[in-house]
Structure 1
Amino acid sequence: MVCTFIGHRDAPWDLREKLESVITDLIVNKKVDLFYMGNHGNFDRMAYQVVRKLKAMYTHIEYYMVIAYLSPTMAEAGENTLFPQDLEFVHPRNAITARNKWMIDNSEILVSYVVCDFGGAAKIKRMAEKRGKTVINLK
């Protein structure tokens, strides 16, 4: 099973413990073995750090930071990055939304941190719900 993460860029760092508990449960009880996360903001960073930490204990899991566009700084990102096919043709203004849609389309579970009903994270969360994905909101 595949899980992706969407959340506000200003997610509080004290959410990390709850996030780790949810991810551990997904690995152990839901057999999630592949994780996708973005690379913008606190929630993405927390998801990346927690999954990377858990990889040491659950060696069978894989994870990828899915980038929205190519840039010189992305060259430093490492081997656990993924740039979805066709995103190179998306205007940079729309790239993050297109990347997030790709992550939803390629996963069964969404772990989100959405505290308001507007903005990009809320829009993607609603999309996941409409598409029948399992949504776990850490609000």
Structure 2
Amino acid sequence: MIITFCGHAQISQKEALQSWLRTVTQHLIEQGAVTFYLGGYGEFDNLAASVLREQKKRYPQIELVLVLAYLNDRRDTSSYDRTVYPPLETVPRRFAISHRNRWMVEVSDVVVAYVLHDWGGAATTLRCAKQKAKQIISYCDGVGS
């Protein structure tokens, strides 16, 4: 089972969101999730990766995969198990992240979402997941927003 994440670059209520991510990821791991795709941009992505690194101590079988939007990405990838570069060679650089996000949704079984408003990249990615009829676990559903 492959899990991906979509969320805003800025987050609020970090402690509540972190606790929710711990609960959600533990449940997914117990249900058989092994591979977690992460975008690596923004506060939500970083928080999800941090929670998964904690989970990896308890569940060493899980794999954290950084999905690159740019082939020549020079970020430190040492805290991930591996990286993946989707087929984006022909995509103009300014569209690389949105195309990477769509690819992540397409290859994933479950999308874990922190989307509080209906504009921006996270909202677009969530709409894509809904159109593809992916299983979505939303922070908004969990907190009654």
The TM-score normalised by the length of structure 1 is 0.90
**Residues 68 and 83 of structure 1 are in contact (CA less than 8 Å); yes or no, is this contact kept in structure 2?**
no
What letter is aligned with 1:17? S
- In structure 1, the residue matched to 2:29 is 27
Using the TM superposition, give the Cα deviation of residue 43 of structure 1 relative to its aligned residue in structure 2, in angstroms.
Answer: 0.4
Q: Tell me how large the CA RMSD over aligned residues is.
A: 1.5
List aligned pairs for 1:7-22, cutoff 5 A.
7-12=7-12, 13-14=14-15, 15-22=17-24
- In structure 2, the residue matched to 1:137 is 138
- In structure 2, the residue matched to 1:115 is 116
- In structure 1, the residue matched to 2:67 is 66
What letter is aligned with 1:98? H
Using the TM superposition, give the Cα deviation of residue 72 of structure 1 relative to its aligned residue in structure 2, in angstroms.
Answer: 5.6
What letter is aligned with 1:69? Y
Alpha-carbon separation, structure 1, partners of 2:133 and 2:87: 24
Instruction: Give unpaired runs (5+ residues) of structure 2.
Output: 141-145
What letter is aligned with 2:102? K
**Residues 87 and 95 of structure 1 are in contact (CA less than 8 Å); yes or no, is this contact kept in structure 2?**
yes
CA-to-partner distance for each residue in 1:65-92, whole Å, 9 max, x for gaps? 1121134632x32363423242233222
Q: Are residues 80 and 87 of structure 1, via their aligned partners in 2, closer, same or farther at CA, if it must alter by over 3 Å?
A: farther
- In structure 2, the residue matched to 1:77 is 77
In the comparison of the two structures, how many residue pairs are matched?
137
Alpha-carbon separation, structure 2, partners of 1:112 and 1:129: 11
* Residue 5 of structure 1 pairs with residue 5 of structure 2: yes
What letter is aligned with 1:5? F
- In structure 1, the residue matched to 2:54 is 53
CA-to-partner distance for each residue in 1:6-31, whole Å, 9 max, x for gaps? 00000232211111111111111x21
The TM-score normalised by the length of structure 2 is 0.87
